[in-house]
Copies of this chain bind each other. A is one copy, B any other.
Amino acid sequence: MARTTGSDGEKTESAIREAAVTLMARYGYEAMSMRQLAAEVGVQAAALYRYFPTKEDLLFTLMREHMEGLIQAWDSARPVNASPAQRLSAYVENHIAFHIERRHATHVSNMELRSLSPERLTRILRMRTAYEKELRAILRDGAEADVFSIDDTGLTAMALIQMMTGVIVWFRPGERLSIAEVTATYLSMTMRLVGARMETEEARHVHEHAQLRA
């Protein structure tokens, strides 16, 4: 046999992407073989090479698009003319929602960096740094405006990101807590961690916002 009835390049490509993310998240990039991936998609291994020239190209594509999606999500969600507390609130909500929705892709992006070539690793890390820079800016603004109490802006940003991204390690959809409940709890932990002093007006607004989503 050769080309099968109803075969379509676009469908096959997105099937490859989805299966690759799932398999890489479960077994790891190195442990996933191209034959295993092909079997999951329902094609021969050679067919994969029509869409991705090498295994590493496949990995890099998945990672790059994940990071682009994250940055784009924040670009859409970022509030304009908002207080540091409101901006931080939006950042946390966006970060957690995005990472829970794409747990598998996040897993791959965080765990398989070492399988990239140096140049590609640099490109991914640059995107990550740009995204984290946004958080540092929010923390710095809040500290300068004296509405946050922060010892070390860079260190606090790293701690917050590790804490938030860590959700994907233990969170399973449909278990004890909903996404909204998790987000609300993380939001209040974050605000306490940065020592946010909110005026009653703003505090109520942020709180209502969290409640609304919960």
Contacts and interface: CB of A to CB of B under 8 A. Distances in A.
A114 B186 contact: no
Contacts of A28: 28, 30, 114-115
Given A158-B166, A170-B158, A195-B192, A185 B151 contact: yes
Interface in A104-124: 111, 114-115
Interface size class of A (residues with CB under 8 A): 20 to 34
A169 B111 CA distance: 11
Contacts of A31: 30, 114-115
Interface of A is mostly: helix
Nearest to A168: B162
Nearest to A154: B176
Number of copies: 2
Contacts of A194: 192
A186 B156 CA distance: 8
Interface string A148-184: 0101100110111111011101100000010000100
Nearest to A165: B162
Nearest to A177: B155
A189 to B, nearest CB: 5
A193 interface: yes
Given A28-B30, A31-B114, A189-B193, A162 B151 contact: no
A158 B163 CA distance: 8
A149 B28 CA distance: 39
Interface of A: 26-28, 30-31, 111, 114-115, 149, 151-152, 155-156, 158-163, 165-167, 169-170, 177, 182, 185-186, 188-189, 192-195
- For the complex of A and B, 10 pairs with smallest distance between CB atoms: A162-B166, A30-B30, A163-B163, A193-B193, A151-B185, A159-B163, A30-B31, A158-B170, A189-B193, A192-B192
